Amino acid sequence: MTHTIAHWSDGKPFLGTSARTAPVTNPATGEITSQVALADLADARAVIGAAQSAFPAWRDTSLTRRTQIVFRFREVLNERKGELARIITAEHGKVLSDALGEVSRGQEVVEFACGMPHLLKGGMTENASTKVDVASVRQPLGPVGIISPFNFPAMVPMWFFPIAIAAGNTVVLKPSEKDPSAALWMAELWTEAGLPPGVFNVLQGDKTAVDELLENPTIKAVSFVGSTPIAQYVYATATAHGKRVQALGGAKNHMVVLPDADLDLAADAAVNAGFGSAGERCMAISALVAVGDIADELVDKIAERAASLKTGDGTKNCDMGPLVTKAHRDRVASYVDAGEAAGATIVVDGRQVAADGGPDGFWLGPTLIDDVTTDMSIYTDEIFGPVLSVVRVDTYDEALALINANPYGNGTAIFTNDGGAARRFQNEVEVGMVGINVPIPVPMAYYSFGGWKNSLFGDTHAHGTEGVHFFTRGKVVTSRWLDPSHGGIELGFPQNV
């Protein structure tokens, strides 16, 4: 018998009444390690109700006190982040160092949220009209929903909840059912940090839980991260129910290498960004655009590096772990088959990798495919695996046109030593996050994260000041006080001029 991963409601684990569960596997062994509860409507409403009950007192808790609790969360997270990294590796499969990196990037948003007193400062205009003052304040929204994907079970929720909580909202987090334990661990950590019950809740589940978050009028805003079709659905449904929504979707990130680039640097970057986390990153590079006559040399350099990577169990000091589920592994491999059948050249083949892990692990090694054309499914679709496709073009303009024609616009990078070309690229490319000789340009917590086109639905990107705006609403107060000189008694001193 495996244990059941519960919801977290009102400061404690909550099993709910639903009989439905889903298996959670260790991708490096293929073993089912637990079952996660899948909420029914009553369970979802109970968890949302806990967030609703906690909101009035949390909203009225002083900003000083709220910030102190976020500070304490940062301290305990920093002390115990190794535990969280091990939980991530056991359910997601990514190597431990990568899991630790994910936690650290999430922690940066917690640190940003520690500055909430400064971020929430309003404006004030004295004497806007005669003896009339105008002040602006920002207030929390209420209970908010966060729906996260499998690929960053700690970092993506941390893009949102530290800011939401510090700003005075209460939270219901619906993690991916593929790796649900990180959310529960973070809920316990909040309790240890002194957060009152009901301010941070976890709702485990699938579409039933998501739909209730989108439709229940108690939930005032939804932050979603996942694939584009679901992001579109979440945006359409939650906005139709009157909610504020930011829905971050999928990606197809191109890395352009110009002929003047340092090819060793570019090859290192392509390998890191293409195969890190087995390509299961929304900022992974999946299309390498080689410009001009450098393509052969660049492909050789990448192939040499890719072939040297060690694939295996994330706890065993390997470079790359397994894919998250068997179904996903098979889907990614089928794209490689389709690319081969369509005439692309398989330079490094990960389908038969000898992995350092269990025989039933969900293994697919680094795969490099050359001569990919834009009509192949390996190019048009988001594959979300360790597969790097090389598209050859003759000019910078062709490379730019390729990216701008793509329906996604999450991240992109250019490798060059030509400052003018780089500057032109940053100005002309229709993508939300751009790297110049930086393959994975994930913004720091005090900037905002988000793509363009089919990579984000809504107006607000995640974290940074955009995140603070998303989780608060503005109010402007115009006030006039009767001048004391209008009153009867006047003992001097307070002069009004």
Active site residues: 282
- Nearest-angstrom CA–CA distance, 178 and 299: 35
- Nearest-angstrom CA–CA distance, 397 and 215: 45
State which residue, 249 or 274, has the beta carbon closest to ligand NAD.
249
- Nearest-angstrom CA–CA distance, 178 and 159: 19
Using CB under 6 A as the binding rule, whether residue 147 contacts ligand NAD is answered as: yes
Q: How far is the CB of 188 from ligand NAD (least distance, A)?
A: 20
Using CB under 6 A as the binding rule, whether residue 282 contacts ligand NAD is answered as: yes
Tokens at 80, concatenated: 């115990």
| Segment lying near ligand NAD (by CB under 6 A), choices 2-10, 129-137, 226-234, 345-353 | 226-234
Q: Which of 18, 151, 277, 472 binds ligand NAD (CB under 6 A)?
A: 151
State which residue, 225 or 245, has the beta carbon closest to ligand NAD.
225
117: left (phi over 0), alpha (psi -120 to 50) or beta: alpha
Using CB under 6 A as the binding rule, whether residue 53 contacts ligand NAD is answered as: no
Q: Which of 74, 174, 243, 461 binds ligand NAD (CB under 6 A)?
A: 174
| Segment lying near ligand NAD (by CB under 6 A), choices 43-51, 185-193, 249-257, 292-300 | 249-257
Tokens at 170, concatenated: 């209460």
State which residue, 91 or 382, has the beta carbon closest to ligand NAD.
382
- Nearest-angstrom CA–CA distance, 224 and 90: 24
Q: How far is the CB of 33 from ligand NAD (least distance, A)?
A: 18
State which residue, 303 or 320, has the beta carbon closest to ligand NAD.
320
How many residues are recorded in the chain?
Answer: 497
Compute CA distances 449 → 81, 136, 441, 444, 463, whole Å.
23, 26, 10, 8, 7
Burial 321-356 (b: 16+ CB within 10 A, else e): bbbbbeebbeebbebbeebbeeebebbbbbeebebe
Residue nearest to ligand NAD (CB): 226
Using CB under 6 A as the binding rule, whether residue 103 contacts ligand NAD is answered as: no
Using CB under 6 A as the binding rule, whether residue 463 contacts ligand NAD is answered as: no
State which residue, 176 or 472, has the beta carbon closest to ligand NAD.
176
Q: How far is the CB of 108 from ligand NAD (least distance, A)?
A: 15
Tokens at 334, concatenated: 């089928």
Q: Which of 26, 311, 454, 455 binds ligand NAD (CB under 6 A)?
A: 455
Residue recorded with tokens 């240890």: 192
Q: How far is the CB of 382 from ligand NAD (least distance, A)?
A: 5
| Segment lying near ligand NAD (by CB under 6 A), choices 72-80, 134-142, 147-155, 399-407 | 147-155
Burial class (CB in 10 A: 0-12, 13-18, 19+), 461: buried
Q: How far is the CB of 363 from ligand NAD (least distance, A)?
A: 19
- Nearest-angstrom CA–CA distance, 116 and 65: 11
- Nearest-angstrom CA–CA distance, 291 and 79: 46
Q: How far is the CB of 151 from ligand NAD (least distance, A)?
A: 5
Per CB under 6 A, contacts with ligand NAD among 368-387 are 382, 384
Assess contact for 287 and 253: CB atoms under 8 A: yes
Q: Which of 43, 108, 177, 370 binds ligand NAD (CB under 6 A)?
A: 177
Compute CA distances 223 → 18, 73, 86, 473, whole Å.
25, 21, 26, 15
State which residue, 8 or 396, has the beta carbon closest to ligand NAD.
8
Contact set with ligand NAD (CB under 6 A): 147-152, 156, 174, 176-177, 206-207, 210, 225-227, 230, 248-251, 282, 382, 384, 410, 451, 455
